[in-house]
Structure 1
């Protein structure tokens, strides 16, 4: 065994704890969004990201940027956009200056659903974090997530 083995084990344990926290949060939020709004976490995230676009400099996101923001491949993002477009929550149009570019906007129905889902998302996130705080291994991660949120507010 090498001298770095304990450090690597600690690092692996930290990564495992982070994965557990993420899984618990995502499961709680997914369940709440599905039950109350017929939305997946990915669909909610996509609506949230696209709702922040604007017409100014750098305000429109290309599909590659959208894929990065919702942590999906470009093909999975395209399928997700298509599903939400079929539900009338998104619309697509050609970029006026580059006919190869396609932009996606949230429709009024999508904005209304997003507004209705935000409190559900926030409540489920809060519940997941409160539950995770009771786990000794996850408590420091919960505090770090909360500190990041406070720093950005």
Structure 2
């Protein structure tokens, strides 16, 4: 085994731990959102991203930007948007200045559901992090997540 092999192994172990933490958090939040609000994590994330749009230049996201924001393919995002539109939680419309552009807005019902679900999401996130912090392999990652400062650019050594 070379020094590089050890570094790759450590990197792989770190990645596996990060993936495990993400999976546990997402599953915990998914169960809470489904049980209390009939929302999946992806649906919640999409409503959250779209709720931050505003009128004016650069205020609305195109579907490809939405897909990037919720980390889904464009086709999966389109299906997700369609499901939420069918439920009356959002609507789509053609951009006034570029007829090829399609925008999506959260409806009043969608905003109300998002507001009701936000405390559930936050509590489930806190619970999942607290549980993960008890695992020695995941505790450093939980600490890193808890110490991220909003707006701070990540640094790389």
Q: How would you bin the TM-score normalised by the shorter chain?
A: over 0.9
The 1-side partners of 2:82 and 2:57 are apart by 26
CA offset digits 1:9-41 (Å, max 9, x no partner)? 100000000000000000000000000000000
Structure 2 unaligned blocks of 5 or more: 152-157
Q: 1:13 maps to what in 2? A: 13
Spell out structure 1 runs of 4+ moving beyond 4 A: none
CA shift, 1:58, in A, is: 1.0
The 1-side partners of 2:70 and 2:36 are apart by 21
Q: Could you state the TM-score of these two structures normalised by the residue count of structure 1?
A: 0.97
Structure with greater proportional helix content: 1
The 1-side partners of 2:69 and 2:146 are apart by 20
CA shift, 1:2, in A, is: 2.7
Q: 2:45 maps to what in 1? A: 45
Q: 2:79 maps to what in 1? A: 79
Structure 1 unaligned blocks of 5 or more: none
Of 144, 150, 153 in structure 2, the residue corresponding to residue 152 of structure 1 is: 150
CA RMSD of aligned residues (A): 0.9
Q: Could you state the TM-score of these two structures normalised by the residue count of structure 2?
A: 0.94
Q: 1:123 maps to what in 2? A: 123
CA shift, 1:57, in A, is: 2.3
Structure 1 segment 53-68 matched on structure 2, within 5 A: 53-68=53-68
CA shift, 1:3, in A, is: 2.5
Q: Secondary structure at the match of 1:145?
A: helix
Tell me the matched-pair count.
151
The 2-side partners of 1:26 and 1:2 are apart by 36
Q: Secondary structure at the match of 2:92?
A: strand
